[in-house]
């Protein structure tokens, strides 16, 4: 119990102190006009309150990641706590804050556009590919996982296929609605269910007399019953609860609805810390209620949704347990929706299809859902494996974009470079060793090749960054950020009045 409570306390302390340092290093401008005001279109660019933006960000990034990932991460034992706490404070929260704020400074641009600007135009195509692949996998995984959970608490006549179709119908309707109607109205209720159910699970675990494993010298080892090595597997298993590239695709959505840069630390850094707390609770619950062999069998028999069901009922009973399961269900449904919404905007930007009419929106949306529906027929564990790798590669790209941004501005770029290098090496090892890659296994040769490949990538990255900085002049946009429409009046003075923008056509 001490490790669980201590870990949660460290996450909060990290938000207060390290989060404040990251904000100071970025150097916010509370007077700067945001894209929500300057580019207001009544659909994606809509000013919303700090509380709504925060709960939307939390539900967007959470999905089943901070629950399914920690459940599977619990197989490794208490060492999983370390990655959640350290990963959240120094990796995931920094990653989310930087990408969200850089997007806010660039008209709410998505990761591919930011990569094009800060890493070079050729990179844009690669990042678009990874972003589209990742979001398609995320959307599909976050259809299958809630469908399985819903099936566990509904009558037998409501089949898995019908539930899947109903989720897709909800997604389609919500995707074509303005963001303040699709997310702003519903997500506060979803958030309330999530928070109440998480507190209930955590409270029952702590005060219910359960033996919660602690991290100490005796338990700081690999407890995985299958013998899967901690590195790099653990860092891909627990992603959304520590560091996740999926968040880089979601932060720009909220950067288009934020009205003040002062909100960034709470909205972006803070909500990642909140996700870390959720991950800590579910990791502890999984380790406390099941031994490694039983937990592994439950996961192998289906998906981690079976563990969610058992944990909820064992800790809270049938009635409250069902409510807790509903609290878990809202996570993947909300993240699946936001994944498809981001996928639509990224693909539309890439293909230069302006999303200003319902016809154009559906032109991009319908084919995406059709492809995703076909992917739901694939094995969940295979989808999750590909999602994990694409997810962390995207995180590396986002951290390298953030590092280049800070480097060009002469700020402390070590805060994003270190987690970026660590995850880059993990991604290289993963693709060389795993069945989805080169199948080399975790041999000495794999590590040697991975080190060389990582160093080669970093050498190119450093060389291009140095050249980019040498060619800058004081007026370059890369140093001064993009100035949104309406930021300055015709006489060059700051104005808080955005230029009029036409309302979208129905």
**pLDDT tens column, 269-280:** 999 999 999 999
CA distance 19 to 242: 15
Q: Which residues, including other chains, have CB under 8 Å from residue 327's CB and lie 6 or more apart?
A: 193, 194, 196, 197, 198
CA distance 382 to 135: 16
pLDDT > 50? residue 490: no
Let me know if residue 55 belongs to a domain: yes
Let me know if residue 496 belongs to a domain: no
Let me know if residue 498 belongs to a domain: no
How far from each other are the two terminal CA atoms of the chain, in whole angstroms? 55
Return left, alpha or beta for 107; rule: phi > 0 is left, psi -120 to 50 is alpha, else beta.
left
| Pairs from 354-360 (Cβ < 8 Å, separation ≥ 24) | 355/43, 355/44, 355/504, 356/41, 356/504, 356/505, 357/504, 357/505, 357/506, 358/176, 358/506
**pLDDT tens column, 82-93:** 999 999 999 999
Split at pLDDT 50, 70, 90, the class of 182 is low
**Which pLDDT score is estimated for 268?**
97
Tokens of 431: 């693709």
Let me know if residue 66 belongs to a domain: yes
Concatenated DSSP letters of 324-356: HHHHHHHHHHHHHHHHHHHHHHHHHHHHT----
**pLDDT tens column, 447-461:** 999 999 999 999 999
Tokens of 129: 């590919």
pLDDT > 90? residue 231: yes
Let me know if residue 221 belongs to a domain: yes
Rounded mean pLDDT of 42-58? 89
| Sign, CA torsion 38/32/100/131 | positive
Let me know if residue 494 belongs to a domain: no
Sequence-ordered alpha helix ranges (H) in 176-224: 179-182, 187-207
**Which pLDDT score is estimated for 483?**
52
Q: Contact, 59 vs 338, CB < 8 A?
A: yes
pLDDT > 60? residue 94: yes
| CATH number of the domain where residue 198 is located | 1.20.1740.10
Q: Contact, 77 vs 268, CB < 8 A?
A: no
494 — phi, psi (to 5°)?
-65, 140
Name the residue with higher pLDDT: 385 or 200: 200
Structural domain including 28 reads 2-480
Full-model pTM: 0.86
CA distance 460 to 400: 12
Split at pLDDT 50, 70, 90, the class of 384 is low
Let me know if residue 19 belongs to a domain: yes
> Tokens 């050249």 appear where?
467
**pLDDT tens column, 212-230:** 999 999 999 999 998 889 9
- In the DSSP assignment, the letter for residue 257 is T
Neighbouring C-alpha atoms within 13 Å toward the C-beta of 494: 8
The helix (H) or strand (E) run that includes residue 406 is helix 380-408
Domain count, the chain: 1
488 — phi, psi (to 5°)?
-125, 140
Name the residue with higher pLDDT: 300 or 56: 56
Concatenated DSSP letters of 17-75: HHHHHHHHHH---TTSPPHHHHT--SSSS----HHHHHHHHHHHHHTTHHHHHHHHHGG
> Tokens 């195509």 appear where?
125
pLDDT > 90? residue 27: yes
Q: What percent of the chain has pLDDT over 90?
A: 42
Rounded mean pLDDT of 74-78? 94
Burial environment of residue 471 by CB neighbours within 10 A (0 to 12, 13 to 18, 19 or more): exposed
Pick from 122-126, 375-379, 444-448 the range whose average pLDDT is largest.
Answer: 444-448
Burial environment of residue 27 by CB neighbours within 10 A (0 to 12, 13 to 18, 19 or more): exposed
C-alpha dist (Å) from residue 55 to 168, 193, 357, 506: 22, 12, 28, 28
CA distance 360 to 340: 15
Let me know if residue 149 belongs to a domain: yes
- In whole angstroms, what separates CA 428 from the centre of its chain? 20
């Amino acid at each position: 119990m001490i490790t669980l409570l201590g870990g949660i306390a460290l996450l909060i302390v990290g938000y207060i102190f390290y989060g404040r340092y990251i904000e100071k290093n970025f150097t916010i401008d509370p007077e700067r006009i945001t894209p929500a005001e300057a580019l207001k279109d009544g659909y994606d660019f809509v000013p919303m309150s700090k509380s709504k933006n925060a709960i939307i960000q939390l539900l967007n990034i959470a999905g089943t990641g901070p629950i399914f990932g920690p459940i599977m991460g619990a197989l490794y034992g208490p060492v999983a706590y370390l990655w959640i706490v350290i990963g959240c404070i120094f990796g995931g929260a920094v990653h989310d804050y930087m990408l969200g704020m850089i997007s806010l400074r660039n008209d709410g641009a998505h990761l591919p556009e930011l990569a094009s600007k800060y890493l070079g135009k050729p990179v844009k195509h690669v990042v678009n590919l990874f972003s589209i692949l990742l979001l398609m996998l995320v959307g599909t995984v976050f259809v299958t996982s809630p469908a399985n959970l819903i099936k566990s608490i509904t009558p037998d006549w409501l089949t898995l296929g019908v539930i899947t179709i109903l989720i897709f119908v909800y997604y389609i309707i919500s995707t074509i609605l303005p963001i303040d109607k699709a997310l702003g109205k519903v997500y506060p209720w979803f958030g309330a269910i999530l928070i109440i159910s998480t507190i209930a699970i955590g409270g029952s675990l702590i005060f219910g007399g359960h033996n919660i494993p602690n991290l100490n010298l005796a338990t700081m080892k690999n407890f995985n019953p299958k013998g899967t090595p901690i590195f790099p597997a653990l860092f891909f298993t627990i992603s959304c609860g520590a560091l996740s590239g999926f968040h880089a695709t979601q932060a720009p959505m909220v950067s288009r609805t934020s009205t003040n840069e002062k909100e960034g630390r709470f909205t972006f850094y803070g909500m990642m810390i909140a996700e870390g707390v959720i991950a800590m609770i579910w990791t502890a619950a999984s380790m406390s209620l099941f031994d490694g062999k039983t937990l592994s069998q439950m996961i192998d028999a289906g998906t981690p949704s079976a563990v969610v069901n058992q944990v909820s009922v064992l800790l809270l009973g049938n009635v409250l347990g069902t409510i807790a399961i509903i609290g878990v269900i809202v996570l993947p449904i909300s993240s699946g929706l936001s994944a498809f919404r981001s996928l639509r905007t990224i693909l539309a930007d890439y293909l230069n299809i302006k999303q200003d009419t319902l016809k154009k929106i559906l032109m991009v949306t319908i084919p995406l859902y059709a492809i995703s529906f076909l992917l739901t027929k694939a094995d969940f564990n295979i989808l999750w494996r590909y999602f994990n790798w694409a997810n962390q590669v995207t995180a590396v790209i986002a951290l390298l974009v953030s590092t280049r941004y800070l480097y060009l501005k002469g700020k402390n770029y070590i805060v994003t470079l270190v987690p970026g290098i660590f995850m880059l090496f993990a991604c290289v090892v993963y693709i060389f060793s795993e069945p989805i890659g080169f199948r080399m296994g975790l041999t000495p040769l794999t590590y040697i090749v991975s080190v060389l490949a990582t160093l080669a990538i970093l050498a190119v990255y450093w060389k291009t960054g140095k050249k980019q900085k040498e060619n800058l002049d004081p007026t370059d946009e890369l140093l001064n950020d993009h100035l949104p429409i309406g930021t300055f009046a015709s006489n060059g003075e700051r104005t808080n009045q955005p230029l009029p923008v036409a309302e979208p056509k129905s």
